[in-house]
Amino acid sequence: MPGATAPARAAAPAVTAVPNAAASVLQAVVIGGTYILTSSALTCFNKYLMQGRFCHVVHLTAIHTAVTFILSLCFYMVAPQFYPSMAGAKEQFRLTLRWIAPLGLLFAVSFFSLNQAYQHSSAAFLQLCKQGNVALLFFMSCACGRQVFSWSKVSVLSIVLSGCSACVSGEMHFALVGVVLQVTAQLAECSKNLLAEIVLSGAGLKMDALSFVLFQAPFCLLFLLLGAWHSWTPAVLEDFKAQWHLLLANASLAFVLNVLIAVALKRLSALSFVMMGVLKDAAAVSLAWAAFGDPVSLSQQTGFLVTVVGIGMWGRLKMQEAQEPEKLPLARGKVRGVRWP
């Protein structure tokens, strides 16, 4: 009977909502887990190089970016099918540059401000300030329409912030100059992540991760080369000749991480990416305790547990939100405060 089929059709979306939510959770776990493992491995590799082998932060980052650009370009020449949005980006080259070029500037501001901040304030204090990225990016995302504001989200983010703040240990020494530099770095970093999310999922571009990395790398490299030239010493070349094989492996791992970051920003969100970083920092404290016996206070252990619980609560909120996509401004093609070039 015609009337009997109507309820079945109406119920179909509710049936498919659960599998879609489960798939979203699985995707977030896979991307987040891979990112945390890769980022942690690169951090350990960098520390190994910095222990008297290649103690040149700006030059190491420039090598990372240069190798990322070269590998991206070579991979595109060999397998262009993995760059599905490249043709559209070429056709809209001016529009692409209009969105991508600021990423290089924001990267430079964040990178150099953070490095200068370490000269004025303790690492523990700066790490504590860094946790504010979660709240900062949330309100920036709400202003741009990338997130829907709710007090339940604010409550969950407060739990995450309190947990990761408890994981920070060390002497809290700071100076006003260091605070200003750190805040500048955080604003630039959050703006960069948010802009990258828009480029990857909107702005008329919807670039794939590999195309995004290929376009972004040269703009970041331009500013890094200026910094590398300014801080150049003969020791840089000597250390490079002695450690080039390790630097190549290190930079190749950085390429993988850059692609994973782009995938996370595209498939998840800038805020989810920052929260993955928070979880990575908290996990690093626990791993250092388990593997190397580093002292971990009770407050740090409690903070790590609270952070994990808070991120789990955030994931549940996002699952509920995913089942009601019509509430998201971008689902209807509207973004507050953003005018497409």
Q: How many CB atoms are located within 10 Å of the residue 279 CB?
A: 22
* Domain edges within the chain: 22-332
- Report in angstroms the alpha-carbon separations of 144 from 109, 178, 241, 313: 21, 29, 47, 23
Q: What is the DSSP letter of 330?
A: G
The distance of Cα 179 from the centroid of its chain, to the nearest Å, equals 22
Q: Evaluate if pTM is beyond 0.85.
A: no
Residue 43 to residues 50, 60, 134, Cα–Cα distance (Å):
10, 12, 21
Q: What totals of helices (H) and strands (E) does the chain contain, helices first?
A: 12, 0
Give burial (CB, 10 Å; 0-12/13-18/19+) of 18.
Answer: exposed
3-state secondary structure of 294: coil
∠ CA 310-33-65 to the nearest 5 degrees? 115
Q: What is the pLDDT of residue 173?
A: 61
pLDDT tens over the chain, length 341 residues? 444 444 444 444 444 445 566 677 788 889 988 998 898 889 889 989 988 899 999 999 999 999 999 999 999 999 999 999 998 888 888 888 999 999 999 999 999 988 888 777 766 667 767 777 888 888 888 888 888 888 888 888 888 878 777 766 555 566 778 788 888 998 999 999 999 988 888 666 789 999 999 999 999 999 999 999 999 999 999 999 999 999 999 999 999 999 999 999 888 888 888 888 877 776 666 666 666 566 667 776 777 778 778 877 877 777 677 666 545 544 444 444 444 45
AA letter at 66: A
How many Å apart are CA 258 and CA 273, to the nearest integer?
A: 12
φ and ψ at residue 163, rounded to 5 degrees? -70, -50
Torsion region of 53: left, alpha or beta (phi above 0 gives left; psi -120 to 50 gives alpha): alpha
Residue with tokens 């020494």: 173
